[in-house]
Amino acid sequence: MFRLLTAGESHGKSLVGMIEGFPSNVAIDVAQINKNLARRQGGYGRGGRMQIEKDQVEILSGIRGGKTLGSPISFLIKNKDYENWEPYMNPIDVDEETRKVTQPRPGHADLTGVIKYGFSDIRNVLERSSARETAVRVAVGSLAQQLMEVFNIEVHSHVTAIGGAFLPEKIRDIEKIKIAETSEVRCCDAEIEKAMIEEIKSAKEKGDSLGGIFEIHITGVPMGLGSYVQWDRKLDAKLSYALMGIQAIKGVEIGYGFQNAQQEGSLVHDEIFYGEDQGYYRKTNHAGGIEGGMSNGEDIIIRCAMKPIPTLYTPLKTVDIATKEVVLATVERSDTCAVPAASIVGEMVAITVIAQEFLRKFGSDSLEEITKRWKNCI
């Protein structure tokens, strides 16, 4: 079981991550981390900031000669944009009155953040509440992903809805889902992809924004991660907690969660079969691979709903916190839609939870120890 902390302001010098409890002797490919960072920066609908940044991880500790040491892993991801923001973001010396932000954006952390922490400048809030922070969680997830790949556990995702454009069918063929990797909006259906892009174009023209839904599939997860014995050990609870922790995620569904609620049990529960070769198995997976708070050996399937981006180029009404006058909300440079980017964050956050629970079950000192215990169990 490992824990993680992230730090860093969006336009500060750097983002920082620290992981404690990651096992030793795991081979780490930095190129794979950077590939995931690049995937998170992509997707149709992103704003100008992504033209400035080219996220790359710099490992500071915990890895030697390409293998983990079991000691805390720390790393940074530089913010290239800091050069442009240094006068406003220098940790020691800034002119607090220049470019003060006082017009809170509905839907963002701005208003409650300044009141909660006692600020007169919304910049003090938006810098940390920004989803720039998710780059760190993607880097952490990339380490978890590399550990899980040793045990044939893989994570994939695809975007199933953007605004009013959505995939009408539920796709359960992982090879089809992988096609999303080549799509600008990470959708695996060419027609729906076109409709999604049109939705984003039209929102952008209007100065509006969009949300959507993405789906995560995790394959190869053995039976028994998580537990039914205590509420806070349930795998579905842990996954939803972590995924809800991603900025703008407002709904998490396991399997056919909401649709199951509208059907009779006989149509919902996945019948149990046994075969000499595969052991226990199911012919359906309405449960999304989790029963009783434990992985049941089927693919884990999770959907996440993302609300529309709060910053609007055609802004909504708000109240200026300095004058208390009704004004239009601040327009910070912004994405129009970041559902494709969020799907990468979702993948990496989900695989982090799976890795944590995997280590809880199979031990967490060295890769060799974990492998022995895993082999005894499968």
Ligand X SMILES: Cc1cc2nc3c(=O)[nH]c(=O)nc-3n(C[C@H](O)[C@H](O)[C@H](O)COP(=O)(O)O)c2cc1C
Ligand Y SMILES: C=C(O[C@@H]1CC(C(=O)O)=C[C@@H](OP(=O)(O)O)[C@H]1O)C(=O)O
- Binding-site members for NADP(+) are 40, 46
Q: How far is the CB of 286 from ligand X (least distance, A)?
A: 28
Q: How far is the CB of 47 from ligand Y (least distance, A)?
A: 5
Nearer to ligand X, 23 or 104 (CB): 104
What lies within 8 Å, CB to CB, of 313 at 6+ separation is 204, 207, 208, 331, 334
Query: Does residue 260 interact with ligand X by CB under 6 A?
Result: no
Q: How far is the CB of 340 from ligand X (least distance, A)?
A: 9
Which residues, in sequence order, are bridge partners of residue 158?
215
CA distance 122 to 113: 8
Which residues, in sequence order, are bridge partners of residue 346?
none
* Binding residues vs ligand Y (CB under 6 A): 10, 47, 49, 53, 130-132, 135, 247, 332-335
CA distance 151 to 130: 34
- Backbone torsions φ then ψ of 174, nearest 5 degrees: -60, -30
Binding residues for FMN: 128-130, 247-248, 292, 307-311, 333
The closest of 238, 39, 6, 246 to 157, measured between CA atoms, is 39
Among 122, 131, 225, 254, binds ligand X (CB under 6 A): 131
Of 53-61, 78-86, 276-284, 305-313, the window that binds ligand X (rule: CB under 6 A) is 305-313
CA distance 111 to 122: 8
Secondary structure (3-state) at 219: strand
Among 10, 247, 295, 343, binds ligand X (CB under 6 A): 247
CA distance 264 to 260: 8
Secondary structure (3-state) at 15: strand
Restricted to residues 37-56, the positions that interact with ligand X (CB under 6 A) are 47
Binding residues: 40, 46, 128-130, 247-248, 292, 307-311, 333
Q: How far is the CB of 330 from ligand Y (least distance, A)?
A: 10
Q: Which stretches of the chain bind ligand X, using CB under 6 A?
A: 47, 107-109, 129-131, 134, 246-248, 307, 309-311, 334-335, 338, 341-342, 345
